[in-house]
């Protein structure tokens, strides 16, 4: 699988009771400015406390302060502070699953007239990488979209309807990672 070319194994941490692999991703994550076709390298980083003052509900659609107890990440163009997308997720190790609680792009990146493409896909792929790192071939990610977005996620990200949620498992999760890591056309 192409995905495995995108991982560099750095080393092993040995504890009394376990061995942990340190895995680092070496591919650059990119978004596309739709007006010009210009490609920008982006960072996906943990949300910082200082970021909350700029996270208005009118621009990011949710009250992100309600997600403080969960893992929160932001997507920005490398070297810039403006947050283009956000994701909140929760791990369920007993189910080998990561559940995406909230996912959004900034208002100017939503819909047909958006400025940049691949923001949400890169955030979903990021969580998928974490799931594969933690759960290997049993990795799964899930989310519960608004009803109006369910068909979009099924078509765009190849998600499957699983009860009230949508999910991705191996091998589809690997295909999504490859798509957004530049091995396939990620539009």
Q: What is the pLDDT along the chain (187 residues), one digit of tens a residue?
A: 333 444 433 334 445 555 444 444 445 789 999 999 999 999 999 999 888 888 888 788 888 888 889 999 999 999 999 999 999 999 999 999 999 999 999 999 998 899 999 999 999 999 999 999 999 999 999 999 877 889 999 999 999 999 889 999 999 999 999 998 864 444 4
Q: Which domains does the chain have, with CATH numbers?
A: 2-180 (3.40.630.30)
Each as own residue / partner, the long-range contacts of residues 131-139 (CB below 8 Å, 24 or more positions apart, any chain) are: 131/96, 131/97, 131/98, 131/173, 132/3, 132/170, 132/173, 132/174, 132/177, 133/23, 134/91, 134/93, 134/98, 135/93, 135/96, 135/97, 137/170, 138/96, 138/170, 139/96, 139/97, 139/169, 139/170, 139/173
User: What is the structure's pLDDT at 5?
Assistant: 40
User: What is the structure's pLDDT at 132?
Assistant: 95
User: What is the structure's pLDDT at 147?
Assistant: 74
């Amino acid at each position: 699988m192409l995905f495995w070319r995108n991982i560099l194994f750095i080393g092993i941490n040995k504890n009394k009771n376990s061995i942990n692999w340190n895995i680092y991703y070496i591919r650059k994550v990119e978004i596309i400015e739709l007006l010009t076709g210009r490609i920008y390298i982006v960072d996906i980083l943990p949300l910082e406390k200082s970021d909350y003052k700029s996270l208005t509900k009118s621009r990011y659609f949710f009250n992100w302060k309600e997600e403080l107890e969960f893992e929160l990440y932001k997507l920005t163009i490398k070297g810039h502070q403006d947050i283009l997308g956000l994701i909140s997720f929760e791990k369920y190790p007993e189910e080998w699953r990561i559940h995406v609680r909230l996912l959004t792009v900034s208002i100017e990146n939503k819909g047909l007239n958006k400025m940049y493409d691949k923001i949400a896909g890169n955030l979903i792929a990021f969580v998928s990488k974490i799931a594969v790192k933690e759960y290997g071939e049993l990795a799964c990610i899930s989310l519960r979209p608004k009803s109006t977005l369910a068909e979009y996620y099924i078509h765009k990200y190849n998600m499957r309807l699983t009860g009230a949620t949508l999910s991705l498992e191996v091998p589809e999760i690997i295909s999504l990672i490859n798509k957004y890591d530049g091995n396939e056309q990620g539009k």
